[in-house]
A and B are shown apart, each in its own frame.
Chain A
Amino acid sequence: MSTAAEAAPKYTAPASIQVPAEQFPAPKVTRKNLIDVVSQEQVQRANVDGRMELFSRKNPNRIQPGSVLLVETLNSKAKESTSTFMGVVIAIRRKGLETTFTLRNLVMKVGVEQRFALYSPMLKSIKVLQQAGSKDIKFRRAKLFYLRDQPGKAFQSLQSLWKQEQAEKVAAKKN
C-alpha cells in the first residue's frame, strides 16, 4: 500500500482554484465526521483575533447574553472608515463559521437590533463594555427577546457606558 502511494503522481490543482496557504497540519480524519473537521478548520482560519474564545461555550470569560458590546465594522474593504454599534447581546447563535450575535440598543427612543456575523472579515473588533453574569446583571435566559416588550433597566446603563467609552477614546488619542 505504501509503495503504491509513493508511486502515485503528485496532484497539482488547476490555476482557477485558490489553494489556501497551509496554516494548519493535516487533521486526523479517522473516526471523525469529515464535515465537522472541515468546519472547525474554517473557524480556525477565520479566527484572526481570538474572537472564537469570546463566544465559545466553555470559556469562563465568554460573552453571555445581557452583556454590553461595542462592535466596530469596516464600511468597505478599500477604506479604513468604520461604523460602531453598541448594544446589549440578546441572542447568540452558535453555528460554527456562521455564528451570529444580535445586539439591541435604543437609538433616539427607537429600538434598533443588529445581527452580526462573528467571523465576517468586515467585523473589525468587539469590545466588551459590561460583562453579564455577575451581581444584578444576570439574565436567566439564553435569548432575551422579552426585552423588546419589557426592557426594565437593561438599557439604562448604555448612555453612561457610551460616554465612558468616548472619554477613554479621547484620553487614548491624547497619549
Chain B
Amino acid sequence: MIGLKGTMSVIDNSGAVIAECIKVMSGGRYARLGKLTEALLILDFSNLIHTLAGDEIVCVVKRARPINPSLIGTQAASLKVKKGDVRHAVIVRTKKEVGRPDGRYIRFDDNACILLNQKKEPLGTRVLGVVAAELRQKKWMKLVSLAPRVV
C-alpha cells in the first residue's frame, strides 16, 4: 500500500535508487500490488482481469546513482535519471500482503517499483531483484520477462 509520500526502492538499472510516490494513477488513496475482486472464483492466473496487476504511480526520484559524464556512449547510460526527476512507475513488491485467488497471501520485506516511460515501457533495460507474480498480465509481460525471479 503505497500512498502519497511513500518511498520505495527502484529495482531497475535506470539509475534511480529511491523513489517517492506523488500520485496514485488508479485514483485511490493507496497503490497496491493487486487486490482481490470477484475474479477470486477464477482459479487461473491467465484469466484474471487487469485489476490484479501492479498499480501505476507517478513518483519523484529521491536518490539516484551519480551519472558519470565520461561514460556516455552505452545505451544504459543514456537512460539514466537524476535526482528530482518525475516519472511513472509500477509497483512490483509491497510490504502489505497481497491475496492470491487460491487463498495464499504473499508479502515482501520492502516496497519496490520499476520506472516507466510515457508509453508504459520500462525505462531501464534490466530488472534487479524479485518481482511479484501479480505482474503476469498482458500489460507487464515485458517486466516479467526481464525479472530474474518471479515469486
Contact = CB atoms under 8 A, between A and B. Distances in A.
Interface of A: 73-79, 83, 85, 107-117, 120, 122-123, 148
Contact of B103 (A79, A107, A113, A120): A120
Contacts of B87: none
A107 B130 contact: yes
Top 10 nearest A-B pairs (CB, nearest first) are A111-B109, A76-B44, A122-B102, A117-B103, A115-B105, A113-B107, A120-B103, A107-B130, A108-B130, A114-B106
9 contacts: A110-B129, A110-B130, A112-B107, A112-B108, A112-B130, A113-B97, A113-B108, A114-B107, A117-B103
B104 A117 contact: yes
Contacts of A115: 97, 104-107
Query: Which of B43, B103, B112, B129 has the most chain A CB within a 10 Å cutoff?
Result: B103
B140 interface: no
Interface of B: 43-46, 93, 97, 102-110, 112, 129-130, 133, 148-149, 151
A46 to B, nearest CB: 12
B71 to A, nearest CB: 26
A112 B97 CA distance: 10
B104 A114 contact: yes
Contact of A110 (B46, B102, B104, B108): B108
B132 to A, nearest CB: 9
B39 to A, nearest CB: 13
A11 to B, nearest CB: 30
B44 A78 contact: yes
B45 A76 contact: yes
A116 B109 CA distance: 18
A153 to B, nearest CB: 18
A74 B103 CA distance: 12
B105 A148 contact: no
A108 B129 contact: yes
Contact of A113 (B45, B46, B106, B149): B106
Query: Which of B43, B46, B104, B130 has the most chain A CB within a 10 Å cutoff?
Result: B104
Contacts of A148: 109
A73 B129 contact: no
Query: Which of B97, B107, B148 has the most chain A CB within a 10 Å cutoff?
Result: B107
Contacts of A77: 43-44
Given A110-B93, A122-B43, 9 more contacts: A73-B102, A74-B102, A75-B44, A111-B108, A112-B109, A116-B103, A120-B103, A123-B102, A148-B109
A148 B109 CA distance: 8
B1 to A, nearest CB: 16
A169 B81 CA distance: 45
B144 to A, nearest CB: 14
B81 to A, nearest CB: 22
